[in-house]
Amino acid sequence: MQVTHGPAEFQAALNVSRETMERLVTHERLLAEWSERMNLVGPKELDAFWSRHALDSAQLIQLAPEAKSWVDLGSGAGFPGLVVAAFLAERPGTSMHLVESTGKKAAFLRAVAEEAGLPVTVFNQRIEAFGAGRGPYDVVTARALAPLNRLIPYAKPILDRGAIGLFPKGANLDAELAAATDVLNGGAYRADVLESLSDPRGRIVRVTRAA
């Protein structure tokens, strides 16, 4: 299932509609344009837009297919937030809230959302100030933001209102889980480790409040 090339392979692997692909192509184009002016991503990361970043982000939708209200913490270049929003745009009543403290990055996120017609609201503020946001949310996401022992406290106000957390992680996940024992509150939260489509060494951590 791993995609190794460009948009055609991505579209075929995930059975993506033409309209959603157009929204994602807009994201890719604007990311390249803005990255020439500010440090969003480097050239190597641009080359991996489809095979790594877009796929890493899009697979989250399959883990919460009924979710309508999403929030992405530390959205940066729009992974996974803008990618998930490109898929949500086909579904009535859906929304993606993006939390980004850096003003220039927030401006980039707004520019993509406007040009691609995404159901996105951008919050240019620190995660601590955002708190529970305009929840409750169905899903909270974050990618390459912080290790789990810091990430779960960031997401706690949102998780505590019933959201599930979907956090793509890399090869050092075991060490992160070991370090996060205390913030998992001795059983208050459950962390399930799921396989990743985009990287055989990667995993997705699904965090939920324990029953």
Whether 20 and 86 have beta carbons less than 8 Å apart is answered as yes
- Per-residue model confidence as pLDDT tens digits over 17-55: 999 999 999 999 999 999 988 888 877 888 889 988 999
- Confidence (pTM): 0.93
- Per-residue model confidence as pLDDT tens digits over 119-177: 999 999 999 999 999 989 999 999 989 999 999 999 999 999 999 999 999 888 889 88
- Per-residue model confidence as pLDDT tens digits over 178-206: 888 887 766 788 899 999 887 888 899 99
* Domain limits, the chain: 7-209
Quote the pLDDT of residue 53.
92
**What separation in angstroms does the CA of 198 have from each of 9, 10, 45, 78?**
13, 11, 14, 17
Which superfamily, per CATH, for 7-209? Vaccinia Virus protein VP39 (3.40.50.150)
